[in-house]
Amino acid sequence: MPTWVGDAVMATPALRALRDHLPGAFLGALLRPGVDDILAGTDFFDQTHIDARAGVMGPKRAAARVRPLRYDTALLLTNSFSSALTTRIAGIPRRVGYERDGRSFLLTAGLIPPKRRDTPPFDQDQQHANDWAPIPACSYYMRLVAHILSPCESPISDAIETMPPLSLMTTPSEEEAAQESLRRAGIAPNEPFAILNPGGNNSAKRWPAERFARLARHLHEAHNLRSIVSGSPGEAELTEHIARDAGANTAISTADLGITLASLKAIVRRASIMITNDTGPRHIAAAFNIPVVTLFGPTDHRWTTIPHQLERIVLADPTLQASSVANDHPQRCAIEQIDSETVVEAADSLLVAHCAQNTTD
């Protein structure tokens, strides 16, 4: 399985297709710690093996975990050399993955990842012809599943006619932990709230903190929504700063609530809306069909296009031609180019549309 939270969630359509098309197969997963929390409660796997594969001996240790089950096929949703080495050491006879990171000799079925020169409209950019094409991760993973199910027919366009939605589940213990965290935040069981994600693994992808604070004040004044400002433990200073700037009765930092990755799922499931940078929680919200406003800059949004109807994507430079990739234009597509008014408008329209839909339903 992928190591990043967002990537793991974007793999769930492929996992659903695999499970549905191989109902009698025994499916196992090799997961890093944390990803098992994200997938807890789902029915994708019959068994999970938890190992970070860290260090020189990591692949050998991980291989020892999976070898006793004598798997006949390994599906590598990662691009790393270490994951391919792990499955080879484990003695798994069929190993399917993309030819990346110098690992093609470790694979029995190596798929060629698409490059821009072969992928319209990116083939118009001759300067970056040999770079990887920004293919959505969901489709990227689905192509591997399609190859396992039908090895002779596996182009990305034919991977699956209708992409299954992102899907996650919560467990009773996660729901209890979420309820306790919300109680500590002073949010009543049926009280609506928003989630703001101002962080990200790349500082260049972070919308300015003061604009998140301004957005929190707007959501409170216009929609009577308090905001939970979410972030990793390493982002506590950022989330606390935004919560203070927004106001004590307007926003709460997760740094004060003892939220874990597992309980975050159940909190996101109850949210009215999420406004986020390009981060893992975006995909968690989509998996629970929560309205999402996602801010992109300077990374290209097409790397992570997801099947989610209740999403508004806000680009740093919406005028960038389709054949260009935002990653190649970091200044033009800097996330600071996104103004507060555009995000407010996207959030307002999504909240109104979702409210109208719920009323109709």
pLDDT 10s digits, 155-210? 444 444 578 899 999 999 999 999 999 999 999 989 999 999 999 889 999 999 99
Spatial neighbors of 275 by CB under 8 A, at least 6 apart, are: 194, 195, 196, 197, 212, 215, 292, 293, 295, 343, 347
- CA dist 87 and 108 (Å) reads 11
The reply to whether omega before 281 is within 30° of 0 (cis) is: no
Rounded Cα distance between 133 and 330, Å, is 17
Predicted pLDDT of residue 356:
62
pLDDT value of residue 103: 96
141 vs 177: CA distance, rounded Å: 32
Per-residue pLDDT, 358: 66
The domain 5-158 having CATH identifier 3.40.50.2000: the answer here is yes
Nearest to 287 by CA among 28, 55, 40: 40
Q: Are 166 and 286 in contact (CB under 8 A)?
A: yes
Spatial distance between the Cα atoms of 38 and 17, rounded to a whole number of angstroms = 19
All CATH 3.40.50.2000 domain ranges in the chain, comma separated: 5-158, 177-360
Strands (E), the chain: 28-31, 47-50, 73-75, 94-98, 109-111, 193-197, 226-229, 251-253, 273-276, 292-296, 311-315
Is there a contact between 185 and 252 (Cβ–Cβ < 8 Å)?
yes
DSSP 87: H
Whole-angstrom Cα distance, residue 179 to residue 172? 11
Residues in the chain predicted with pLDDT less than 70, given as ranges, are: 151-161, 356-361
What is the reported pLDDT for 158?
Answer: 46
- DSSP tally for the chain: helices H, then strands E: 12, 11
Predicted pLDDT at 286: 97
CA distance 333 to 322: 13
Q: Which two tokens stand for residue 63?
A: 């291989």
Under 8 Å CB-to-CB from 133, ≥6 apart: which residues?
114, 115, 116, 118, 119, 122
C-alpha span between 331 and 337 (Å, rounded): 9
**How much is the pLDDT for 360?**
56
> Cα–Cα distance between 225 and 202 in angstroms, integer?
28
Region at 144 (left for phi over 0; alpha for psi -120 to 50; beta for the rest): alpha
Residue pair 12/141 in contact by the 8 Å Cβ criterion: no
How do the residues of the chain divide into helix, strand and coil, expressed in percent and rounded to 5? 45, 15, 40
Give the residue from 86, 68, 70 showing the smallest Cα distance to 32: 86
> SS3 of 193, please?
strand
Instruction: Look at residue 248 in the predicted model and tell me its pLDDT.
Output: 83
Cα 148-152-155 angle, rounded to 5 deg: 85
- Domain 177-360: homologous superfamily in CATH: Glycogen Phosphorylase B; (3.40.50.2000)
